[in-house]
Structure 1
Amino acid sequence: MDLLERLADKINELPNLPERLIIGQLSNNNDFGFYSQPGSQVISEDWSGIQERSLPFEIAYRTDDFEKANNSLWKISELLDGLNKLQTDGTYEFNRINIQPQPFLTMIDVTEKGVFLLDFSVEITQQINLGE
C-alpha cells in the first residue's frame, strides 16, 4: 500500500515548507518526519472481505523556530482537512482524513528545540483476501 508515499507527495507540493517532509521518525539527520502510528482499526467489514479501516499517522517537526513550525503544521492540517481525493495504487480506496487535535507543541529539548506534532487518521476501503 502506497498511502504514506501518496500523502507525503501531496504534502511536499505545498509551497514554502521549511524543508522536505521525509517518511520516517525524527533522527539526527531528519527534523521533519511523517510516519504511521500503532492502533489501526477495522471500522466495518462485509462478507466478501471489503474492510473500511482507520489508519493513524503523525507528522513531527523539530525546530527552534516555533512560529515557523506552528504555521507549517497548520498549513499541512488545512491541506489534509480539505483533501477529498487521493491518487492510489489501486490496492485501496481513499475515503477521508480525520484530524484531531490540531498541531501542538509536545516538548522542548535541552537544545531549546521544540517538537511539534500533527496527529490524524486516514480512512480507507480495502479488499482483504479471505482465502489466504
Structure 2
Amino acid sequence: MDLIEKLADKINTLPNLPQTMIIGQLSNANDFGFYSQPGSQVISQDWSGIQERSLPFEVALRTDDFELGNNTLWRISELLDGVTRLETDGTYTFNKINIEPQPFLTMIDVSEKGVFLLDFSVEITQQIDLGE
C-alpha cells in the first residue's frame, strides 16, 4: 500500500514549504516529517473481506519561527481537507480524510524551537485475504 507516499507527495506540492517534508519522525537531521501513528481501526467489514479502515497519521514541523510553523501546518490542513480523490496503487481505495484536531503547537524544546503537529486519519477501503 502506497498511501503514505501518495500523501507525502501531495503535501510536498504546496508552494513555499520551509523544506521538503520527509516520511519519518523528527530527528537531529530532519525538522519536517510525516509518519503513521498507532491505532488504525476497522470501521466495517463484510463477508467477502472488504474492509473500511481508518489509518491515523501525523505531520510534525520543528521551527523557531512560530508564525511559519503555524501557517505551514494550517496550509497543509487546508490542502488535506480539500482532497476528494487520490491515485493509488490499486491495493486500496481512498475514501476521505478526517482532520482532528486542527494544527497545534505541542511543545517548545531546549533550543527554543516549537514543534507543531497536525493529526488526521485517512479512511480507505481494501480487500483483505480471509485465509480460506
Q: Give TM-score, length-normalised by structure 2.
A: 0.99
1:85 aligns with 2:85: yes
Q: CA deviation at 1:87?
A: 0.4
Aligned length: 132
Listed as ranges, the gaps of 5+ residues in structure 2 are none
2:7 partner amino acid:
L
* Alpha-carbon separation, structure 2, partners of 1:20 and 1:130: 39
| Equivalent position of 2:113 in the other structure | 113
TM-score (norm 1): 0.99
Structure 1 counterpart SS, 2:90: coil
Q: Name the % identity.
A: 83
CA distance in 1, matches of 2:108, 2:12: 25
Question: 1:94-113 residue pairs with structure 2 within 5 A?
Answer: 94-113=94-113
Instruction: Give, in whole Å, the separation in 2 of the partners of 1:111 and 1:82.
Output: 35
Cα distance between partner residues in 1 of 2:126 and 2:107? 36
- Alignment of 1:12 onto 2:12: yes
What is the aligned-residue RMSD (CA, Å)?
Answer: 0.7
- In the alignment, does 2:69 pair up with 1:65? no
Taking the aligned partners of 2:74 and 2:19, their CA distance within structure 1 comes to 15
* Runs (4+) off by over 3 Å: none
Specify every segment of 5 or more residues in structure 1 that has no aligned partner in the other structure, as ranges. none
Paired with 1:63 and 1:122, the residues of 2 have a C-alpha distance of 26
